[in-house]
Structure 1
């Protein structure tokens, strides 16, 4: 067989191609749609009111002061769950950065400000998917804005998923602070209106 020589340029191109093939094989995994998450969190709800909360500069500062983390965006998308005239809670939709990619998750909060459950919606990282385990997510149940919510304190870490664990934990802490500072005071105000109302499908 002929002796085929490769130049540094050819080797570089080959390595780049293998990297791209490897990266392409790591695909985002969607675990739940928003519709599935809301039904899972609030099965008794007969309607959901979609609300986009916009923060004032004062509210952003208050959120940061309460949880120690700056709001990632100028607002949050929420779904207010009701059964008849009864408020069941709020589903916050949020994102945090993993090691390289965004992690989509949802936090269901009871009217008293305590976590009902945390659901992972979409995970795009190649490692760390163990954070979807019910045991790890279950640590957040009954936590509130007054809880520590710190990795290695009241939330245990998962080896190989430290960055995802830390950032989701911080995200939940920020979401709970947002609920307390911005949304909770407004939920039962007379005349409070939301942007859209979506009946729950049977």
Structure 2
């Protein structure tokens, strides 16, 4: 009989594959076309947040700003700015979730798309019905899980962190981009 510390019992556990469910659903370019279908081009918009802007965004969103250089593009149709397109990442439970957020020139959410999901659970945040809860929200709305954004059982951390990310980007848009052409 093998003892509990026998290498014959431990070895299979060490050799067992770690299952990671990673899926890329959309590229940045595909998400741009989905979220701003009327746009004829997307111009990269260089943003570097100052310490004061970071602090203002954190206070307005009640969420920490980790990245001082958000990835953002202006969605253009001819000479008209349709809005801003962000690509951001938040943690699910253990891994990053990469998502895109479209904010209209009026400052409201035009859509949210999941670009890449790496978690083993919580992928239900890709459901159109869940993501549709953000449509029309702006920086004045609470955008809080359990308040105006419903949770999905089994995907609580993904729901919470994506909701926090959207709220943070709405605050970023208002603090930095809303007054710019």
User: What TM-score bracket applies, with the shorter chain setting the length?
Assistant: over 0.9
- Matching residue within 27, 35, 43 for 2:37: 43
> Superposition pairs for residues 1-202 of structure 1, below 5 Å?
5=2, 8-18=6-16, 21=17, 23=18, 25-186=19-180, 188=181
1:196 maps to none
Q: CA deviation at 1:13?
A: 2.1
Q: Deviations over 1:99-118 (max 9, x none)?
A: 00000000000001100000
Q: CA deviation at 1:64?
A: 0.7
1:116, 1:60 → 2: CA distance? 24
Deviating above 6 A after TM superposition, structure 1's stretches of 4 or more consecutive aligned residues are none
Aligned pair count reads 180
Q: Deviations over 1:49-99 (max 9, x none)?
A: 012311000100110111111212112011111111111111111000010
Q: Which has the larger radius of gyration?
A: 1
Q: CA deviation at 1:5?
A: 4.6
Gaps of 5+ in 2: none
1:194 maps to none
For normalisation by structure 2, the TM-score amounts to 0.95
